[in-house]
Amino acid sequence: MERVGKTVVPLLVAGIAAAMPPLFATSRDLCFTAGPVTYRLSDSAPSPDYRVRIDNAATRPDLRVRLVDRVELADLTLVDDVGSDRPCSTLGVLRTVRIVGGPADVTVSVSREVRDADFALYVHSARITDQDAAALFALMRHVQAPAKIAHAR
């Protein structure tokens, strides 16, 4: 009987642990506002406004992002509010973004190597990955570039 108890208890604990992540999972939707546009990064957006592909093997990505470990080395920094789970809200335009593996509007390579990087990125977040931040910044640059060209006349 003692042997059965030693076998059943670890299985019970493992079963509880396996069932717990869905109970405490947070929404994957992340929002970032740049000027009049708020970008909502969502894994579940069925038809996003923009698709971003992270492809470190791409020969000519639209943007090369270098990840750095110190804020003073970064061109761009993203630090979020710990524990802030506010829904996306905006007074301007809301655009949905999804990171995809196939065809995309923007392709980004992300690495810690210095060579050929368009900018250096520092991320300090409990919720946002380096790839999420790189995708958002790349998209903002992609969307705002035509606007700058149109106003440069």
Q: What is the pLDDT of residues 44-95, one digit of tens each?
A: 898 999 999 999 999 899 999 999 999 999 998 988 765 656 677 888 899 9
Classify residue 4: in a domain, yes or no.
no
pLDDT bin (cut points 50, 70, 90) of residue 112 is very high
Domain housing 83 = 27-151
Q: Is 101 inside any structural domain?
A: yes
pLDDT score of 151 more than 80: no
Q: What 3-state class would DSSP assign to 38?
A: strand
Q: Is residue 11 part of a domain?
A: no
Query: Would 19 be classed as within a structural domain?
Result: no
In a domain, 3, yes or no: no
Other CB atoms within a 10 A radius of the CB of residue 35 amount to: 11
The pLDDT value given to residue 27: 46
CA-wise closest residue to 56 among 144, 117, 7, 4: 117
Number of structural domains the chain divides into: 1
Q: Is 5 part of a structural domain of the chain?
A: no
For residue 21, is it within any domain?
no
